[in-house]
Each structure stands twice: as structure tokens, then as C-alpha cells.
Structure 1
């Protein structure tokens, strides 16, 4: 794509014309075990997923694991410096090989059952009684089952499909977006996983539209323009999509002419007087863009360098098919990911990460759970309702369980969607494409 801007690249990949077939979104898609199995077989085992942060595998001897469905994926950096991914299972008798979520400074992995020993490149290096195998010793010959693995945007990705397209090709312009934010230099300061009593698609449907914002997130209208007429909705051939909401200005539906919180604090942060924008509050966005461009470098905000003006203030909500949402802003971004439950389609595991750039002298940052230190966060896991998954995420989930129940009703036949919800219909149609062999 040469020297095209990110916006031009996005436009190149847009789906043109009338593309939605109108496939029904019936309730059984959210509770049928048969349909959940089809999703697993044709979608989740054939698409790229995020397994962890690249800095977790920064040095040889590092090991991380990630669970998805009934699988556990093992990722390592061996002495040769290469990052690899394997199914986390011993080929001897099927025992789970590595139990920890994260390990460093190790040279070998030992199965707890019979002590088969593997190097970090997955090869069997030692077994007891090697001479007793009638088919020959497995040492140096057998290895863990390796799967596709790549690193992009500071994230470690894996794909269980050996014939999958390369990661960057699969992500398309989403990869260019991550490049612009230079997310390979960011750190995860919040790492939450909540078990929620709803199907994974209920949460992901929510992230594919902003029609609910005025109902669930009304407070955002003081500094984000939530009007659909002023929001960009882009759908791509890859199955991914993007929504851009203008930030640092109030909703165009607001009749309040004065600067409100938290926009007043944002203006002061960039040496602008909030009172000067009373009566012309919609000019705040451009003024903040100019100040960020003018003052950003001297304040150490290196991540602004490759960003466009709209990326300095606006929220780019990118959904990566099938189930990853990236809410990008210039000073922090979220990974919002509902994963299918391994056995129950009416439950899911919801990951919420918050990432920030590492900037000299900045030791604390604001996050969806308040102020946190700029350092790798520990993993916090809990049942939905026992702790917060973030203020806005809690609002989203406040309707999830009731929707799961409602989808069982004979009174629900199909979603009746606005144009601004086209991305929801598109998600389900691409799922159907995978299941029915069109992708």
C-alpha cells in the first residue's frame, strides 16, 4: 500500500455497496451447544488470537500459557531467541504439561506425571527408561505439537489453523493502526478476567455498536460526541471493523454550552483555560490536538509522533474478528475480549486489559479502575459481580444476563437493527461464512 495514510488504507479495505445478506440472528445462536461447537470448530480454531504480551517472553527461558475453550496454549522463547506456540499437552499420555500462567528463567519443562522433559523448542530431551520403548526412544525425535505463532503490536498471537493466512495479512490495516500507536512499547497495567453468565457474542455484539451509549453511558456525552451522525462506521472485507467517535468535545445533541468534567481537566492538562471555551465548547477538540502536537514531545509523549490529529483526541474502536475489541486512544488502549466458555454456551470469560505507553517520569496513570502504577499488572480473576471489570464495562454487563435470558423467549425472532448496528449483523454473517465454508 506504499505511503498511503492510515485513513487511506482503511478506506481501501472498506466493504463497498450493499453487502449485508440479512442473515437472521436467532436466539439459539446464543445458547445452542451444537452451534457453539460449530463456532469452536470453524471459527476459534481457525482465527488469530492473542496469547499474551511480548514482554512476557522477552528473554530466553520465558514461558506463558493461555486457555481458550478446552485448549491450553503454551508459548515459549527458547535459547535460539525464537518465540513458539504449542498445545500445552504432553504427547506421552496427555497430561497438561505446564500448570503456571507465567514462568521465567527456565531451561526445561518437565511433565509432572512421568517426568518427560522438554526443551523450550518443544523437543523431548529426557525420559526415564528410554531403552524400554519398543518403537524406539522418543528423545530428540518427538516434540510438542507446534502451532502458528507471531508477534505484532507488542502482543503474542497464535492460530491453531496450519493453513491460516499470515497474521499481518489477516489483520490488514488493523496492523498498520497498531504500528502507528507503537503499541510494542506499551505495558499492560490492568489485567482482569471475569466469568459472566452470558454467551460471548452478547458482549461482543455490544462492542460492535454504540446505539446503547445514550442508555448505558450517558455520562460520556460530556467529552465524547456520541451522536451516530458524527460517528464513522467502517466494515472491512477481512471481517474486522472500526468505529471512530470524536473525543474532547461534548455530544452534538447536548445543549450545554459550558465545559463540563472531565473535559475541563483535559484542557487544563494541556495548558488551556476551560473558561475560555464556554460558549464555544466544540472548539476544544481542535485546540487540544494543536497543544498535544506542540507540547507532546517536550513532555515525553513519544507515542504521538506517528498519530494523525484525529488519533490524538478520538476513540478508534477496532473489532478484530471474531472476538477482540481494541479501544484505541493516544494515551491508553483497552483489549476487551469475551471468550467462549469451555463447556457452557450460556457463560463466557471476559478479559479486560488496559495498556499505556511507558514514558520517562510517569509512574502512575488513570485506568478504568482508577489510578494504577505503570508496571506489568498481575492477573485478577473473579466471578462477574464479585469485583469491578471497569466502570463502563460494568455498565455494559449490567444488561448482559437479562439479554441472555430474553433470547430464550418465543417472543424473540431476529434482531431488528439500525444502520449504525450493521457491524453486529456483519459479525454474525462472517461467523456463518466460516461455519458454512465460505471463508
Structure 2
């Protein structure tokens, strides 16, 4: 299989004639009334990512997910299933828990009502003092719908929302070869930013800005709109697929080391045979596919086995409505998730997950660029254990210079502080986006704000807003 087959539900993501042309007014970025409409008509109707299954492996393990006005508990049951409940006591509404943990039952800190993992009341003080009868076996926590996709946990507050797989369609089918559940989340950072959450929906639905905001990327990922594929799917999802080769338009300065050469050489490709830049990019890209296909087993990249040639080298960037973006590559995934502040429409929270596969066999580490040298990779692990995970390998992200230890991590909440609180991320493409937030927040409030004048490659931006409008108008996408 040499390329991903175009899914039958795909809509041309570069053709604005596929859309209505709704106005994108600036009030959506700072108006409290608009924020309230989003909560009532959109956030409570969609599927939302809460975490990963590995966080709740054993019965009684639970995570707490807070969003605007609500808090949800998601807990592993004794039979191995997963249930979700509103974090509100069935007695008088006290929140039961504030953070992730593990326990056999839930006790209300106010009046000591006790709930089983299935949400049922199992004990209360002074049980015989209720004229209407004991609440034990009668009252229970209000349940929310929970489902999983490839190790990710989702929930929805809507009884009318489609099943998760229908909601995500065709994303699970498109990425069926990637096995996200086997990846290790080696970085999980959260920051609060002074900008409306939709800035990131706009930002991650176009790559027009990347040549200028992320100048390090075109040397390994071709950002040119005329070589990329743009796709939109039902229910507001969309993606771009870019080739994992150097751009012919934005070239590395003559005489400088070329990162793509390093990638090729690490896979045993002789780069001296390329007579010019064009050949390095175009033929090197083809040779890299062949080399990965030929050598992945001996290098320990066993997760390549089911990947197509396109999946071995290309760089799809997937947007999942309303607030998830996934940079999917052969060796891992950058998952980005952002959500609104509870009260201020000009603030939001942003989560960065950096995920990668453990590499076995003769490999000494894991690198999203394929780099695998003694000098750059230092593994203090004796090998992969029974779980298939190495807990202390270092790897390099394609979008980050500094190495990260390859082990599951806890949430790291940072104070952004104008960038001072995330110095270790200064070389990360996401940080480069964060730097734009203050100017965007102030600029959209200007009397000089005009209707966006969008390029064809920004069609997915308008598609996001039209999907949002559908929800706000009570027309939930089918």
C-alpha cells in the first residue's frame, strides 16, 4: 500500500465554494454573551477529550475533568468498564473530588454520603432519619456518556449526541494503523493564555502562517500549499497532509547543515548522490520511504509494520471539532487540546501532549526525525519491559530540540508569565503560536477589525466557524 486512499466522505478543504460564506464577526473573540451561547448550545452537545485510558488502569482509578461550569468524574469500574458522572453529590450538590486519584468509593466531604464506583449511594449517616425513605440504593450520581477511541477517553453531556465513533468518523478509520494507545505521553504541559480559545481553532486550521511563524519547519516538512492536500469531513473535522520532505520554496541557507540530510543518513541513505537541492528533496523523500520500509525491523521500529508508505513519511495535521489538534507522524503524535476559561472569554487553557512509541531491537532511542545515534541518544534502559514500555529512553521531537525522557508523566501546570514559565519550550512550534496571542487578543477588539479576507488554503478556518454557527443555531451537524 503506497498511499492513503481518499476517504469517500472528504470535502475539498481548499474550495470555499463548498461553504456558505458565513460572516466571522469579532464579537466571538471577546463577548460574554457569545461565550454563554457556546456553552449552552455547543460545549454541552459535543464529545470532549478527558484523558487517556492508561491514567485509569485499575478499578477505582479516576480522573476529574473540569470545563467551564461543569466537572466530571471518569472512573474505572470493577468489571473493567469506564463510567462517567457529574461531580455533584446526590444529596445537596457538593463537589465530591477535586483531582485525579484512586479509591474504592467516593465520600462527600460535606455530609459523608458514600457512593460506589457505579455511582450508587451505598451509605449515609443517620439513614433512618429520612421520612421519604433511605437514599441508599435509591439515589445515585447523574451519569454522563463515556467512550474511548484508541486509548483516548471522551465524554459528552448530551444524550442526543451520536455515538463517539460516529461523531469522529472518519478519523478512527484514517488513523487505524497508528495505535495511539501504545504511545507514551512523555510531556503534558498546561498553560493559561490571554486569548479566546477560538484563536487556536483558527490557527490550527491553516498552515498559511507556518512559513513565517515556524521557519524551522520547512526544512523537514513541505509547508507549501500547492504540494499539500486539504480535507474537510462531516461534523466539523478537517486536516492537512504535508509531505515529509524539504520545501523547494523555503530553502535552508547554502552551506548550512541540512536537517533532512541527517534524517536520510540515519536511515542509511547516501546523500552524496543528490546533485542539487531539488533532488535531495524529491528523490530523497522517495528514498526515505524505501529505507524505512527496508530497515524498520532491524532498527526496532516495529510500529511501522502496518503503516503505508505515505504514513511512514508524511505529516498530517488533524483538527477534531471543537478543540483538538493532532500532529500525526510515523513515530509519535503531538496532541493539542485547548478550552475556555470559566468566566473570561479572553482567556483559555492550553494542553500540550507530546507522545511517542517505545523503540526496541537495536535502536538506542526514539526520535521523530528517525535520528538514532549514540551521540544524540542516551538510553539508560536495559530494554523494553513486559509492558512494552521503556521508562527512561530519551528522544527528540521533530518540533523540539531538547530531549525528553520517554515515560508517562503527570500534568505539569505552568505559569506562562509572558513565556518565562515555559523556557524549555521556547524552541517548540507551539510556543511560537503562543507568542502571537496577546497581539491577536488586542487586535480583534479594534474598530479597524474587518471581515477576514481568507485565502483558499484557509478554507478550513471558515468551515470551523460555520460548524460552530450550526451548533449555536440548533442545527447539530449530521
TM-score (norm 2): 0.86
Q: 1:258·1:277 contact (CA, 8 Å) conserved in 2?
A: no
Partners in 1 of 2:352 and 2:445 — Cα distance? 27
Cα gap change, 1:272 to 1:9, in 2 (>3 Å) = closer
Give the 3 Å change call, closer, same or farther, for CA 21–128 of structure 1 in structure 2: same
2:337·2:351 contact (CA, 8 Å) conserved in 1?
yes
Matched, 1:429 2:466: yes
Q: What is the match of residue 86 of structure 1? A: 85
| Match in the other structure for 2:394 | 364
- 2:377 is matched with none
| Match 1:114 to one of 94, 111, 121 | 111
Measured after TM superposition, the shift of residue 188 of structure 1 is 0.9
Find 1:223's aligned residue among 220, 223, 235. 220
2:302 is the alignment partner of 1:302: yes
CA RMSD of aligned residues (A): 2.0
**Alpha carbons of structure 1 residues 204 and 251: separation in structure 2 relative to 1, 3 Å:** farther
8 A Cα contact 1:341 1:349, kept in partner: yes
Partner deviation per Cα, 1:243-293 (whole Å, 9 max, x = no partner)? 011113334443868884321221122122333335121121111111111
The question of 1:237 aligning with 2:234 is answered yes
Structure 1 residue 299, shift from structure 2 partner = 2.4
Partner Cα distance (1:128, 1:8) in 2: 61
Gapped regions of structure 2 (runs ≥ 5): 361-382, 384-389
**Corresponding residue for residue 411 of structure 2:** 379
Structure 1 contact 226–251 (Cα < 8 Å) conserved:
no
Shift of 1:215: 1.4
Q: Normalising by the residue count of structure 1, what TM-score does the alignment of the two structures yield? A: 0.94
Per-residue deviation, residues 307-366 of structure 1 (Å, max 9, x unmatched): 221111111101001111011001111111220111100000011101112333462222
Supply the distance in 1 between the matched residues of 2:78 and 2:98 (Cα, whole angstroms): 21
The secondary structure found in structure 2 opposite 1:164 is coil
Contact 2:219 2:252 in 1 (8 A): no
Match of 1:152 among 149, 153, 161: 149
Residue aligned with 2:5, SS: helix
Are the aligned partners of 2:395 and 2:405 in contact in 1 as well (CA < 8 Å)? yes
Could you say which residue in structure 1 is the equivalent of 2:448? 411
Q: Give the Cα separation in 1 of the matches to 2:275 and 2:116.
A: 64
1:207 pairs, out of 197, 204, 208, with 204
Partners of 1:238 and 1:175 lie apart in 2 by 14
Task: Report the 3-state secondary structure (helix = DSSP H, G, I; strand = E; otherwise coil) of the residue aligned with 1:46.
Answer: coil
Kept in 1, the 8 Å contact 2:235–2:467? The answer is no
- Asked if the contact 1:257–1:281 (Cα under 8 Å) also holds between the matched residues in 2, the reply is no
- For the pair 1:43 / 2:42, whether they are aligned, the reply is yes
SS at match of 1:226: coil
